[in-house]
Structure formats: C-alpha cells, structure tokens
Structure 1
C-alpha cells in the first residue's frame, strides 16, 4: 500500500495495483481501474516514486522470505478434579 493525502489533509492508504493512471490537471488526480478518482496533494512524480518503492519492497521480500515459524505443538490439557 502507498499513503496519499487528500486535498483536505486527510491521509489514506491506496493499493497501487488498482491504479490505472495518475494525471496532473493541474491537481494530481489518481484514477483507479474501477473508475474511482482521487484528487491528492502529492505530485505525479511523488506517486510514481512511492509505487516504485512499494514494488521494490515486494520484490525484496519475495527474494528473501522470512523463515517459517515452527509448527505449534498441541497437547492435551486435563482438568481433573481430585
């Protein structure tokens, strides 16, 4: 996810896989594949840079996956009363 800021100052996270295009008209408008449009404070260059950083982080994470956690061992718990 990338973080962008609406013109009113509120920030939100956006899935960059859903971005169809980013335009400067002169405000920066992000259009999603669904047709939803967001006017944001960031420049086109900033959005492109954030998307590139996000994709690079995904590639690094996939090349160096975290080691699997050991399986949880289940055991019987008895509550016998004497």
Structure 2
C-alpha cells in the first residue's frame, strides 16, 4: 500500500485534532523530564544526596515511571526557590 493511500486527505475532526495536540504536548513534556543524575548536577548535589532526600521526602517533586525517577525542570526550580534565604 502506498503512503498516499494511508494518509487521509479529509480534514481532522475536532476530537482527532485535540488528541493530536495533546499527544504532541505530552511528548514535549516527556522530553523535558530530567533523570536523577541530571537533576543532581542541576542542584549542585551528589546523586546519593538526591536519592537520600527522595527517601526522606525532603527533595523536589519527582515522577517514577517504570524504574526511572524523573524530574520536571519547573519542579527543580520551585525546589530551589523554596530554599532561598532573605
């Protein structure tokens, strides 16, 4: 089957369009997630310190997806902001 036969020439419905937009957004969001090692470098602490903070509930918010611990840059920034001293 040729590629032109697989691609619909009809305009997308609103639901299809919204789903496509959401899928692109979620892919972009996943690309912005940082692994623990990257987050530790960003925060200027060791990987083991970050792991310790996680286990004690003292660190930044994180997501656990499968076996991976991932951090959003916005959550890392919020964590740093919460530690600012006047």
One fold, TM greater than 0.5? Answer: no
Higher strand fraction: Structure 1 or Structure 2?
Answer: 1
Greater RCO, CA 8 A, separation 6+: 2
Higher helix fraction: Structure 1 or Structure 2?
Answer: 2
TM-score of the pair, normalised by structure 1: 0.29
TM-score of the pair, normalised by structure 2: 0.28
Q: Larger radius of gyration, structure 1 or 2?
A: 1
